[in-house]
Amino acid sequence: MDYQELTRFAELMASEARAMLLAGQGARMSAALKPDRTFVTDLDAAIETRLRSLIVETYPDHGIIGEEEASRQVDADYVWILDPIDGTAPFIAGVPVYGTLIALAFRGVPVIGIMDLPVTSERWIGVAGSVTTHNGVPVSVRPCIDLSAAILTASNPDFFSAEEVSVLEMLKARTAWRIYGGCCMAYGLLANGCTDVAVDTRLKIYDYAPFKPIIEGAGGVITDWTGRPIDLTSGPRILAAGDPARHREALAIIAATGVAA
């Protein structure tokens, strides 16, 4: 299937979101804690409203899943998934790892993914059947000879429950180094071949839907903690790796804890 037109539209939305984020950067704005203890700002809501309006105007028969508003037509063949500011807490704190996530799923499977980081002027684009690009340049994951040589990322150790923390501890013990707090940027860096394994939990589909086409288009693997492929019913636990052998190795470690059973 030719996704060129839809990818161009997704890029247009990413550019709209980038302009709004840059305009709001450093400005005082109201922030509130949602029931799940994540932050939301007026800008989160404004960006999602703008992107939703573009979708409804251009593709009225498409569905929408977003972080800040109710889902729309989720049984449609094409469903857009929006996270207006992935990393709202870093955004509030001024840590430049936040960005906008946009994905398009076809019959439940994400086939287009865009990750746009306005402060660092970076954009990853993944499209099913194509090579992932970073600022227009094709990228690929790197080989990793053994998990003991791997760099592991996790968005925040606090996201892991008392039961799930055993997974993080086991992976920490088996890898060379850990990096925390990268939010969506960590998955872009994995696609670029800068890191090796990413593990996260307590996520919603809008937190990671673009990662599937981005990681896979760079030659990597991303699944849930049982090894099941990512689709609109996935969550809240994901595992990605650049080297397929390291993904299998990490999955075996997770299985040994019994947490994902």
The full set of domain ranges for the chain reads: 4-138, 147-257
What does pLDDT average to over the chain? 93
For residues 192-216, one letter each, b for 16 or more C-beta atoms within 10 angstroms of the residue's C-beta and e for the rest, the string is: bbbbbbbbbbbbbbbbbbbbbbbbb
Q: Is 250 exposed, middle or buried (CB count within 10 Å of its CB: 0-12, 13-18, 19+)?
A: buried
Rounded to whole angstroms, the Cα distance separating 51 from 144 reads: 38
Architecture of the structural domain at 147-257: 3-Layer(aba) Sandwich (3.40)
Residue 244 tokens read as: 């397929």
Residue 86 tokens read as: 């992935």
Rounded to whole angstroms, the Cα distance separating 247 from 226 reads: 11
Measured in degrees and rounded to the nearest 5, phi and psi for residue 57 equal: -70, -40
**What is the arithmetic mean of pLDDT over 75-94?**
92
Architecture of the structural domain at 4-138: 2-Layer Sandwich (3.30)
Contact 242, 196 (CB under 8 A): yes
Residue 40 tokens read as: 């939301």
Rounded to whole angstroms, the Cα distance separating 81 from 180 reads: 25
What pLDDT digit, counting tens, does each position of 112-170 carry? 999 999 999 999 999 999 999 999 999 999 999 999 999 999 999 999 999 999 999 99
**What is the arithmetic mean of pLDDT over 207-234?**
97
Rounded to whole angstroms, the Cα distance separating 128 from 210 reads: 11
pLDDT at 115: 98
Rounded to whole angstroms, the Cα distance separating 61 from 13 reads: 17
Rounded to whole angstroms, the Cα distance separating 46 from 192 reads: 31
Please name the residues in contact with 15: beta carbons below 8 A apart, sequence gap of 6 or more. 116
Rounded to whole angstroms, the Cα distance separating 247 from 227 reads: 9
Computed on alpha carbons and rounded to an integer, the radius of gyration of the chain in Å comes to 17
Q: DSSP 3-state assignment of 7?
A: helix
Closest among 99, 98, 150, 130 to 3, alpha carbons compared: 130
Is 39's pLDDT higher than 70?
no
One-letter identity of residue 260: A
pLDDT band at 29 (very low <50, low <70, confident <90, very high): low
What pLDDT digit, counting tens, does each position of 52-63 carry? 999 999 999 999
Measured in degrees and rounded to the nearest 5, phi and psi for residue 241 equal: -150, 150
Give pTM, 2 decimals.
0.94
Task: Pick 68 or 114 by higher pLDDT.
Answer: 114
pLDDT band at 68 (very low <50, low <70, confident <90, very high): confident
pLDDT at 34: 60
pLDDT at 94: 83
One-letter identity of residue 127: V
Q: Is 158 exposed, middle or buried (CB count within 10 Å of its CB: 0-12, 13-18, 19+)?
A: exposed
pLDDT band at 47 (very low <50, low <70, confident <90, very high): very high
Contact 73, 65 (CB under 8 A): no
